[in-house]
Structure 1
């Protein structure tokens, strides 16, 4: 079993992702185009493309814009500075001390590495002439332009979003089932792992929704965002509910009734048409509890109080369906 796990881990480590493929293709196209145009420092176009491949279209556009301004600013600033101070290594010290704070202030600090590639060309060329500037502009245009075009295609993550949605529903149903079992039987061997997993899956879903929105706007992400927001609220309600449930230390009729309700809730969680029916059943349970005689012991009083708190949370849970 250990060997199989290690083998599976190595296979995952060697798996080539779509972003890796896009990076390889983009860099190759950039170098090819720059070389075909017989540009000097043509390999730098590939470096610029490499630095601009991002996770989403929005991030890609931001990366290209910030790097474009940084490259142009670096080209101009380094040319002036090297002409004034000479083409000496210490000129880099002055340049970086001035240029890095400027990029940070202009919020284009992501482009510092990219612009440094162009600055190195200025230093090696050791002259300011039109042909050199034209060459650098072509290198920048090819490197950033290819990155933007290649990164514009983003694979659909609908399957991942749907899997997250299914897993979230499964975990919530499992948690509700365990709660119902405890209320009806008074005992449980549940270790609570589903609650921890639910938090992790909701975090993953949030990242996927954000990524999908950056790629497609609100084309379909809005519905996923609303769904996972409802599930996030249900998760928070379950977290608040569990401490009160854990304090119920006796099997009583009220608990059994609420347990039956929670069991039905777990079975029909995805059916939002049952929302009104669930609300009506819960109101019926509350009315039944109001008609019961006063508790005869402190233990019974505490159990009823905790059940009352659970019923309050269940009302909020049903409202989020």
Structure 2
């Protein structure tokens, strides 16, 4: 089923409005107002305001160029081409190139008049105001993206939980049935979410920060940690007592994936694990040494994963509970 987007709906609403207003004002070439509106519909408020300014300035510049070239040289197709050779570089210099398509409508209207009078210039100025203004006003309404971002957050956390559980399963049983689709999906979700955040920031012209921006940046960095953990996990021994403890810890991390911040509890438990491993006898074989080295690298990645969450926001764990949970 084809989904009709907001830009399509706004274009369908704005175009007939601008044509009707231009027609009521008695503007010649009133249909062109609809073309200007169509060209001005943008995906965000910020882009809409910038687009309106670029197109307005480009249209005014196009009017000046048209007067100079058409009135001084003549109304001939070759003159249109010559004028564009000068006009387009000027828009690049003024940094209003998005307005080239819009201003071409005004250029062709002036060319078709075969004579530029003050009344016709005012007529075209009204056309610019109506066409661009309608597009700007229609574009001021932007739907909230909070619902979509919340859904991305829920899906991403669910994927993180599954990844951590699969890691625990692999450590215990060397289970190789997992296809890793949650990794690919998580990467896609993070990218999609960051795109939505950027778009939503552009819809709030006076807001510099976004409540979901830091969250998805944090999850993106945590995802990098998870990717680094996987090859290290694959090198842990199957029946080692230490590996079992690490698997249990991954299960606990899986249960703790949520928007809140309880990372301090798991950092304390991780320190306890480290102390336990430090008390183990030194490895005697090369294989045991490599395993121990991979284990310590894995613990380092887990610590980085938790520290990212700890720094993300204020802890949800009260000071009294922290004291209880800290190792003696």
The normalised TM-score by structure 1 is 0.93
Measure how far apart 1:239 and its partner are.
1.3
Matches within 5 A, 1:237-252: 237-252=225-240
Q: Distance in 2 between matches of 1:299 and 1:36?
A: 86
Q: Secondary structure at the match of 2:212?
A: helix
Distance 2:208 2:91 in 1: 36
**In the superposition, relative to structure 1, how do residues 271 and 119 fare at CA in structure 2: closer, same or farther (>3 Å)?**
closer
- Mapped contact 1:31–1:45 kept (Cα < 8 A): yes
CA distance in 2, matches of 1:219, 1:84: 49
What is the CA distance between 1:295 and its match in structure 2?
A: 1.7
Report 1:10-49 matches (<5 A): 11=1, 13=2, 15-49=3-37
Inter-CA distance 217–305: structure 2 relative to 1 (3 Å threshold)? farther
Q: Using the alignment, how far apart are the partners of 2:103 and 2:7 within structure 1? A: 23
Deviation by residue 1:13-64 (Cα, 9 ceiling, x = unmatched): 3x22221111011001000000111110000001000000000000100110
Structure richer in helix, relative to its length: 1
Per-residue CA shift, 1:45-84, capped at 9, x if unaligned?
Answer: 0100000000000010011000000000001111111112
**Paired position in structure 2 for 1:205:** 193
1:24–1:224 distance in 2 versus 1, CA, 3 Å: same
The 2-side partners of 1:40 and 1:220 are apart by: 43
Alignment of 1:129 onto 2:110: no
Closer, same or farther in 2 for the Cα pair 1:251/1:219, shift >3 Å?
farther
| 2: CA distance, partners of 1:320 / 1:42 | 57
Shift of residue 185, structure 1, vs aligned partner: 2.2
| Partner SS for 2:200 | helix
Consecutive unaligned residues in structure 2, runs of 5 or more: 310-328
Q: Structure 1 unaligned runs (5+)?
A: 1-10
Q: The residue matched to 1:55 in structure 2 has which SS?
A: coil
Per the normalisation by structure 2, the TM-score is 0.91
The alpha-carbon distance between structure 1 residues 218 and 289, as it changes in their structure 2 partners (threshold 3 A), is farther
Aligned positions, number: 309
Q: State whether residues 172 and 238 of structure 2, in contact with CA within 8 Å, keep that contact through their aligned partners in structure 1.
A: no
- For the residues of structure 1 that align with 2:127 and 2:100, how far apart are their CA atoms? 16
Give 1:219 shift. Answer: 5.2
Query: What CA RMSD, in Å, does the superposition of the two structures yield over aligned residues?
Result: 1.4
Q: Which of 275, 282, 293 is 2:270 aligned to?
A: 282
Q: 1:312 aligns with which of 300, 303, 323?
A: 300
- 1:259 corresponding residue in structure 2: 247
8 Å Cα contact 2:237/2:291 also seen in 1: yes
User: Does 2:198 correspond to 1:231?
Assistant: no
Please state whether the residue corresponding to 1:189 is helix, strand or coil.
coil
The answer to whether the Cα contact below 8 Å between 2:237 and 2:243 also exists between their aligned partners in 1 is no
Q: Does structure 2 retain, via aligned residues, the 8 Å contact 1:202–1:228?
A: yes
Q: CA deviation at 1:220?
A: 9.6
- Summarize the Cα distance change of 1:87–1:63 in structure 2 as closer, same or farther, 3 Å threshold: same
1:186–1:251 CA contact under 8 A, matched in 2: no
Match of residue 62, structure 1, among 24, 29, 50: 50
- Could you say which residue in structure 2 is the equivalent of 1:150? 138
Question: How far apart are residue 233 of structure 1 and its match?
Answer: 0.9
